Amino acid sequence: MGFSDWVHLRQCLTCGHVACCDSSPRRHATQHFLTTHHPVMQSIEPGEFWRWCYLDETIG
């Protein structure tokens, strides 16, 4: 997998930023959290309806 490939997209619920998941090479969603401290993101993949909280490390 190359560095330009992404696996799944996630969206920050604080600011709306869209980034790739941790299965992607650069893990942009986690990097966004580490930079901004925006704690919750959601999957924006078709048919997926879940959220992840980085602070609590829980899915909802």
- Is residue 1 within 8 A of residue 25, CB to CB? The reply is yes
Closest CA to 33 of 23, 46, 45, 20: 20
For residue 11, what pLDDT is reported? 98
Residues 6-58: tens digit of each pLDDT: 578 999 999 999 999 888 877 899 999 999 999 999 999 999 999 999 999 99
In CATH, the architecture of 9-59 is: 2-Layer Sandwich (3.30)
Beta bridge partners of 39: none
Q: Is the pLDDT of residue 1 over 50?
A: no
Q: Is the pLDDT of residue 59 over 70?
A: yes
10 alpha-carbon distance from chain centroid: 4
Name the pTM for this structure. Answer: 0.84
Chain position carrying tokens 């704690």: 39
